[in-house]
Chain A
Amino acid sequence: MTTLPWLALLVWGTVAGLDLASVLQGLLNRPLVAGTVAGIMIGDVGAGLRIGAALELFALDVLPVGASRYPDYGAATVAAVALGAWQPWDTALGPAVLLGLLIAQLGGWSIVGQRRVTAWALHRAAQRLDRGDPGVARRLHLLGLGTDMLRSAGLALLGLGAVALLTREPLFDLSTGHALTVVAVAGGFVALIAGALRRAGTVRRIAWLACGIALGAAGLVLQ
């Protein structure tokens, strides 16, 4: 890769990271979307779609509710696609997804840290804020936005740095890569199914899920 895709990937990883909670929450952080865009930037849309889809299976198990700590799959998927692009995907998908999972978990911890920085600033400004001094809330808000941008950029940089290290020489032989791909995809299905059952909750919704599986299987057979 030339310098341009690295820089573009860094910017896209940062944007996708911001979309997780701070700005918009408009699906840009979803692995399928982040991966597809990263694939377009690198010139291997197929890899972006497949790696994004595999990580999407894990992301569908996550409910980003309130104060819970959830993984950041945006920058993680960008790094995963950078690792897995332009390679035979039956051997590259597994290592790429595993790198994505690791970075996503680190991303989850980084959000906790970023929110603590905002809380520290809030403590210092609490009196002025509660008094209703003009501009205090806006300054705190911009600080939160800035620190989250730094957090996202840092995570994207970490992921891309890992890619630069891992692509120096082949890490695995083809059969190990293949085995890791099966493990990664199977793990994705564990996440997807556990997430679907957890969200479904009621017997009625589980019946809807079962109906969907039957419909999907019938559609595949008829295709």
Chain B
Amino acid sequence: MMPRLRALLRLVSLQASYTYERMQGIGIAVAEEPLLEPLQDNPERARAARGRSAQYFNAHPFLAGAAVGALARAELDGEPGERILRLRTALSGPLGALGDQLFWAGIVPGVMGLALVAAAAGYGLRAVLAAVVGYNALRVMVTWWGLKIGLQHGLTVAHALSESALPVMAARAGALAALIIGVAIPWVAAWLLRGIGQPVRSTVLVVAGAFVLGVLTLRRPLSAPALTLGAALLTLLWRWSAA
């Protein structure tokens, strides 16, 4: 199997060895390993490269392919070790911020919001299947593209990434996700609350009340799950005392 494909497969489990000290460091080393095979003829260089590859690293897992490609290219080109370690540190923050903005705050809520609307409209199974297939196709494509661009550009990968469409997409994905989640709110409310026999007025009241509480929990004095479990406990106490 070609080394780039093996690196891609290993990137799929990048965070399996996540620790709070080196974060994704070990996963990066495992993913980089197939790309460093040309160094096998020079055991000293290979050993030094392996040692560097397992140091601290943390970025968005889907964009980590760009770092793996760039670091491998720098090792193969014989760049000085200190420079490679500096590249590693320099890539962590931007790749993390870009990926978090694009995927965790944009694409994931957007896709799940769409799936919720479709489920509320009666297309649940097809929506879930489409969401999983479409999202994973995108996820693999982005990781593959990251590997490719990293291997092509090496030390200048950050510049290549900033010139790509990713930063613009990341900025727009959040707004689109907000719009989709907005659409999902009335649809899911109608599906779940009116579906259990709540009239329109009380459905609107529950959502409006949730809006007020949602704003109040923004600074997280109490998380929504804790608030819900507390309210459920009070409900149970009230029901049992009334029985």
Stretch at the interface among B23-31, B146-154, B158-166: B23-31
Stretch at the interface among A3-11, A133-141, A160-168: A133-141
Docked Cα-Cα span, A131 to B50, in Å, equals: 8
Contact partners of A190 in chain B: CB under 8 A: 210, 213-214, 217, 224, 227-228
**Could you pull out 7 A-B pairs where Cβ atoms are within 8 angstroms?**
A58-B224, A63-B104, A93-B192, A94-B232, A131-B47, A197-B214, A220-B190
Contact partners of A176 in chain B: CB under 8 A: 235-236, 239
Whether A115 and B20, one on each chain, are in contact in the complex, defined by CB atoms closer than 8 angstroms, is yes
Contact partners of A156 in chain B: CB under 8 A: none
Whether A187 and B215, one on each chain, are in contact in the complex, defined by CB atoms closer than 8 angstroms, is no
Cβ-based interface call for A180 (8 A) = yes
CB neighbors of A among B191-222 (8 A): 191-193, 195-198, 206-207, 209-211, 213-215, 217-218
Contact partners of B227 in chain A: CB under 8 A: 187, 190
Docked Cα-Cα span, A136 to B33, in Å, equals: 11
Q: A137-B26, A144-B17 are in contact. Are A216 and B178 (CB under 8 A)?
A: no
A97 smallest CB distance to B (angstroms): 8
Whether B136 and A141, one on each chain, are in contact in the complex, defined by CB atoms closer than 8 angstroms, is no
Docked Cα-Cα span, A124 to B186, in Å, equals: 53
| Interface size counted on chain B using CB atoms at 8 A | 97
Whether B218 and A200, one on each chain, are in contact in the complex, defined by CB atoms closer than 8 angstroms, is no
Q: A53-B188, A212-B178 are in contact. Are A36 and B218 (CB under 8 A)?
A: no
Q: A32-B116, A119-B21, A213-B185 are in contact. Are A25 and B139 (CB under 8 A)?
A: yes
Cβ-based interface call for A183 (8 A) = yes
| Interface size counted on chain A using CB atoms at 8 A | 100
User: What residue in chain B is nearest A196 (Cβ atoms)?
Assistant: B181
Contact partners of A90 in chain B: CB under 8 A: 195-197
Docked Cα-Cα span, A33 to B124, in Å, equals: 10
Contact partners of B184 in chain A: CB under 8 A: 192, 212, 216
Docked Cα-Cα span, A131 to B53, in Å, equals: 11
User: What residue in chain A is nearest B188 (Cβ atoms)?
Assistant: A53
Whether A60 and B186, one on each chain, are in contact in the complex, defined by CB atoms closer than 8 angstroms, is no
User: What residue in chain A is nearest B239 (Cβ atoms)?
Assistant: A176
A207 smallest CB distance to B (angstroms): 9
Contact partners of A49 in chain B: CB under 8 A: 119, 124-125, 128
Cβ-based interface call for B76 (8 A) = no
CB neighbors of B among A144-186 (8 A): 144-145, 148, 172-173, 175-176, 178-186
A118 smallest CB distance to B (angstroms): 5
Q: A141-B16, A187-B225, A197-B218 are in contact. Are A66 and B96 (CB under 8 A)?
A: yes
